[in-house]
Amino acid sequence: MAKVTKKKNLAGSVLVYVLLIGLTVLTLTPLIWMLSASLKLDKDVFSVPIQWIPADPQWSNYAKVWEKIPLLTFTFNSLKLTVLITIIQVLTSSFAAYGFAKCNFKGRNVLFLFYVATMAIPWQVYMLPQYTLMNKMHLVDTHIGYIFMQAFIPFGVFLMRQAFISIPNELLEAARIDGMSEYGIFAKIALPLSKASATTLVIFSFVTIWNDYMGPMLYFNTESKKTIQLGIKMFMGQYSTEWGLIMAVSVMALIPVFIIFLIGQKQFVQGIASSGIKG
């Protein structure tokens, strides 16, 4: 009986690993194709059957993208906006989440419910009113206006609140008895104990802002203000598209996201796992 059970468990494990390997291959195939296409001439990008390893790799594609568009400016703009907004979102989300989780005030749960419910409202619904407001404030085509729009994120408040709730109130009360201020408790106890969720929020914010296309397209008109995602669009002309260069710059745009995920992947998994423990 034990042998039969062991064989069933082994078969189940093999099936799970086969499914995971299949999903991994399915997920990585577009990325591998993009990398392969970045080393091809335009006429060979969509050739059938697909030539995964180019016979004559066009490494010059990675040099041409710097000559065709001001890629250094676009990359700097993307990094500046992404880093600044990520820091601001983590700070604002953490402060708000701590208040909703550990500070008692009238209407706390109702206010939190209404705030988090805004996640269900698509950006397209308030896109035009938001643009009108920013235009009246003369913040269109400015980085500061874009930063203001992205400074608060309901998902971040929800994620950090879940982490703060899991911290025992007795620990915070002991710190208050010792004379520590509320800001000290937040900075020295609550935030360090929620490092996994904070790292998760950093990754989510970084990836979202770095990959944002619609926002910069609407608000940035001057070339010196544009981001790398808008730069990729410059290779798409009215009558022709330079697919090899598009794939090359896309691979380069993927590198920062890949690095930030590799750095925080362990904390990211822990943060996702712990975000639903207690609510």
SS3 content of the chain, % helix, strand, coil (to 5): 75, 0, 25
Position 36 scores a pLDDT of 92
Task: Give the torsion sign (CA, 146, 149, 155, 159).
Answer: positive
> Which residues on adjacent β-strands are paired with residue 236?
241
Establish if 45 belongs to a structural domain: no
Establish if 89 belongs to a structural domain: yes
pLDDT, tens digit (0-9, with 9 covering 90-100), for 28-59: 899 999 999 999 988 888 888 888 888 889 99
Is 50 within 8 Å of 32 (Cβ atoms)? no
Burial class (CB in 10 A: 0-12, 13-18, 19+), 137: exposed
Residue percentage of the chain with pLDDT more than 90: 49
Establish if 116 belongs to a structural domain: yes
Is 102 within 8 Å of 160 (Cβ atoms)? no
pLDDT, tens digit (0-9, with 9 covering 90-100), for 259-272: 888 887 776 666 55
Q: Model pTM?
A: 0.86
State the Cα–Cα distance between residues 260 and 257, nearest whole angstrom. Answer: 5
- Give Dmax (Cα) for the chain: 76
Task: Tell me the residue range of the domain where 68 lies.
Answer: 58-274
CA-CA-CA-CA dihedral for 29, 34, 40, 42, to nearest 10: 120
Establish if 220 belongs to a structural domain: yes
State the Cα–Cα distance between residues 220 and 6, nearest whole angstrom. Answer: 61
Length of the chain counted residue by residue: 279
CATH number reported for the structural domain that contains residue 187 in this entry: 1.10.3720.10
Establish if 2 belongs to a structural domain: no
Establish if 15 belongs to a structural domain: no
State the Cα–Cα distance between residues 123 and 201, nearest whole angstrom. Answer: 20
Establish if 19 belongs to a structural domain: no
pLDDT, tens digit (0-9, with 9 covering 90-100), for 113-159: 999 888 888 888 888 899 999 999 999 999 999 999 999 999 999 99
Task: State the total domains in the chain.
Answer: 1
Establish if 138 belongs to a structural domain: yes
238 pLDDT higher than 60? no
State the Cα–Cα distance between residues 209 and 234, nearest whole angstrom. Answer: 19
